[in-house]
A and B are shown apart, each in its own frame.
Chain A
Amino acid sequence: MSVTLRVNPIACTGHGMCAELLPEVVELDRWGYPVLVSPTVPRSLREHARRAVQACPTLALLIEEKAGKHR
């Protein structure tokens, strides 16, 4: 299974909770908006990723969980 994250840049208002909860994958630029270091989430961080998606105040962080190894 592959897990990828994506930001809806229109919904995002730069709260920054995603970066607090998933700092290995999400960094904040100089204006407080998220930069995804890599779109795919390693297995060990998947629960944290789900929590970050849940926590986003504007539902701007999106997660896509695809079964199987390839897209």
Chain B
Amino acid sequence: MSLDFHGPGLWYATRATGLVAMLLLTVSVLLGVITAGRFASGNWPRFLSQGLHRNISLLVLAFLALHVGTTVVDTYTSIPLAAAFVPLASAYKTAWLSLGAVALDLLLALVATSLVRKRLGYRAWRRVHWLAYACWPVAVTHGLGIGTDRSAMWVLVLSMACILAVLGTAVWRVITAVRLGPAR
């Protein structure tokens, strides 16, 4: 009953959905940081950063579903579905794939706790949400390490741009937090 899916199409789909997911995750992290940093301007209200952050995070999950789906279905490599969630469950590129699983698990935790935020209470939700700062670098590392086209210049440039954007925004966040004082 095995469907013989294989060929460059699926592989490109896996790679593409992965890259888009990384991009969107980066944007989501940026929006999350500027929401916490209370960024606002005349044309950009705070609820916009927050609303986009939420919606884009959900979009990341959608792309990851495709990313995982195309990977599992591809018979060129026999990666079980479990490997998307359980580290070390795949023989193929075990280390890099495990990072992907960890990133996905963290993301699921972030989204799930955010959906039940009211019932969870703010403090518990906040503590879990710090994991976002673990999720994103793990995801980016997974992408850089596992990609067979990492030598392709534009992928490297894209990844660097994402890293610089997050680093820069994190620095901005620290500076504004210090300026605003405690409890902010």
A residues within 8 Å of B by Cβ? 11, 13-17, 20-21, 55, 57-59
**Interface, chain B (partner A; CB < 8 A):** 35-36, 38, 40, 45-47, 50-51, 117-118, 121-122, 183-184
Q: Is the CB of B122 within 8 A of A20?
A: no
Main SS at interface, chain A: loop
| Cβ contact within 8 Å between B47 and A17 | yes
CB contacts (< 8 Å) of B47 on chain A: these are 17, 20-21, 55
Whether A55 pairs with B50 at a CB distance below 8 angstroms is yes
B122 touching A58, Cβ below 8 Å: yes
Q: Are B118 and A57 in contact (CB under 8 A)?
A: no
User: Contacting A16 at CB < 8 Å: which of B46, B51, B121, B183?
Assistant: B46
Give the contacting residue for B46; candidates A11, A17, A58; CB below 8 A.
Answer: A17
Assuming the contacts A15-B38, A20-B45, asked whether A57 and B183 have C-beta atoms less than 8 A apart, the reply is no
